[in-house]
Amino acid sequence: MYLQKISLVNFKNIESQSFDFQQKINCFVGNNGIGKTNVLDAIYYLSFTKSYFNSVAGQNIRHGEAFFMIEGDYLLKDRKETIVCSLKKGQKKVLKRNGKNYEKFSEHIGQLPLVIISPADRDLVTEGSDTRRKFIDGVISQQNKGYLKDLLSYNKVLSQRNALLKYFAANRTFDALNLSVYDEQLTDFGSRIYEVRKSFLEEFIPIFNEKYQIISGDKERVNLKYKSQLHDFSMQDLLQSSLHKDKIIQYTTVGVHKDDLNFQIGDYAIKKFGSQGQQKSYLIALKLAQFEFIKKQSNVTPILLLDDIFDKLDENRVAQIIDLVNNDEFGQIFITDTHSERTENILKQGNKEYQIFKL
């Protein structure tokens, strides 16, 4: 699979522009703020129907304009696919594949597999557990529609249970039978979500460790641990034992919505003890492991977006990453950088076709 062409109208700071791409490596170089990352975000949009950097869809419309449109022409398994995503102010977003509207955007997720590596990924290290759960869920959901359905159902029931707990507190009442209906559903969905996450991470963690060792030159040991209350107790037992606390706090305090990932270098948290270069290497290894996992599950080579990939890394780590992505297991790659000479010098070391767009 590769993206042959993309056309943008009123997307972020881009008024109207089209790009025709090489099948292997495409680079956007130029000063900060000129729109390099916005082109990558448009490519991401066509795979996930949303921005990687701004969850408010209307804020992706160029200032002073009433709409945006992104159109991409792909070659997928010797078949041409045209994807168009557009949004008008005050209206719902529209997604079309070969001229036909999608009724549910979730049906599109996983059709055009893609992995992005960006400075924004640092949130995985610095922010709370919700960000790391979204990472796990995003990787699994691209290829497991049943998991995505269970996840959406779990979150809906969780919201309903929390609303019921608030109702009990506000009205100084309690209905165990009513609450048990939600508990049964949470147990059902939550148990399946846990088993899928556990199975996924058993396969994913060794891939991640291998990628990190390559990037670091086998100089450092890292670890990735799955943290879940369901390791030791069933979902049903957790809900029963936390009932008194839940009634006081008016919130469901246990379940898979509390799962987390522990990022470690040696035996210590990488957030506190890892350098900027080590943290970035850790995140790149995570995303390259994601790439390999999705490729294996989908039998399609994902597109790889590398946003400002060379920043805060020493030359040795940069060289290891370039060696990795020059491997034939990777397909089409998009890179942004502020230094055109640095980018070209690095790419010349490889043996793949590339083109550079100077913005």
pLDDT, tens digit (0-9, with 9 covering 90-100), for 296-336? 988 889 999 999 877 777 767 777 777 777 777 889 999 99
**pLDDT confidence of residue 184:** 97
pTM of the predicted model as reported, rounded to 2 decimal places = 0.86
Fold of the domain built from segment(s) 125-299: Glutathione S-transferase Yfyf (Class Pi); Chain A, domain 2 (1.20.1050)
Confidence of residue 341 (pLDDT cuts 50, 70, 90): confident
337 has pLDDT over 90? no
Per domain, the residue ranges of the chain are 1-113+303-359, 125-299
The CATH architecture annotation of domain 1-113+303-359 reads: 3-Layer(aba) Sandwich (3.40)
235-258 pLDDT, tens digit per residue, is 999 999 999 999 999 999 999 999
**pLDDT confidence of residue 229:** 97
Query: What's the average model confidence in pLDDT over 262-282?
Result: 91
167 has pLDDT over 90? yes
Average pLDDT, the chain: 91
**pLDDT confidence of residue 168:** 96
Confidence of residue 204 (pLDDT cuts 50, 70, 90): very high
- CA 182 – CA 161 distance, rounded (Å): 6
Query: What's the average model confidence in pLDDT over 281-291?
Result: 92
82 has pLDDT over 90? yes
Listed range (6-10, 188-192, 219-223, 308-312) with the worst mean pLDDT: 308-312
- CA 273 – CA 282 distance, rounded (Å): 13
**pLDDT confidence of residue 291:** 93
